[in-house]
Amino acid sequence: MSEALEPWKDFNVAMVGATAALAGLLIVAMSVNIATIMASATLPARAGASVATLVLAIVAGAFGLVPGQPVELYGAEVLAGAVAAGVFQVHSMRVLATKDRVSSQWGRFAKATVGVLPLLGFLVGGVLLVTGSAAAGLAFVAGGSVLAVITSIVLAWVVLVEVLR
């Protein structure tokens, strides 16, 4: 682990454990109602984006714990993970834009953009890390991780509430 990553060790350990537990609980909760979720036009994509964002937080935290890793490599790993999670988020946004017949235009916009917030933290953080701004980059990655937990809980709650409608 590089000198810049060392002070973030406890944060990364806590985030990996908490986020992995949360992701597991969400997958179990969603699996109980999987038939209803899959019957919806928008819920599968939203649930997938939510889980992908949590996986990104797990991956970012885990890679932050790799011994001897240069900060620039860590930044590249965070960027790659953010792009992968972004694929799920873009798909979710497209589905919401074309298949959400219930929400207003503002509602669709809000639903689509909330999942982008943590990705922005990871993307900005990754770019800063790759370009040598370790302190700022690590702070943005941490912010992305916290936002990932918050937005995933909110989105998962929405999915589970929508199942009952």
Q: What is the CA 128 to chain-centroid distance, rounded?
A: 19
Instruction: Note the pLDDT of residue 112.
Output: 76
Give the predicted TM-score (pTM) of the model.
Answer: 0.90
CA angle 89/147/132 to nearest 5° reads: 90
Among residues 48, 123, 133, 55, the alpha carbon closest in space to that of 91 is found at: 48
What is the Cα–Cα distance from 50 to 47, expressed in whole angstroms?
A: 5
AA letter at 107: G
Q: Which residue has the higher pLDDT, 82 or 40?
A: 82
pLDDT of residue 108: 74
Task: Give the tens place of pLDDT for each residue, 99-151.
Answer: 877 777 777 777 778 889 999 999 999 999 999 999 999 999 999 999 999 99
CB 151 within 8 A of CB 56: no
The per-residue pLDDT for range 73-108, each reduced to its tens digit, is 999 999 999 999 999 999 998 998 888 777 777 777
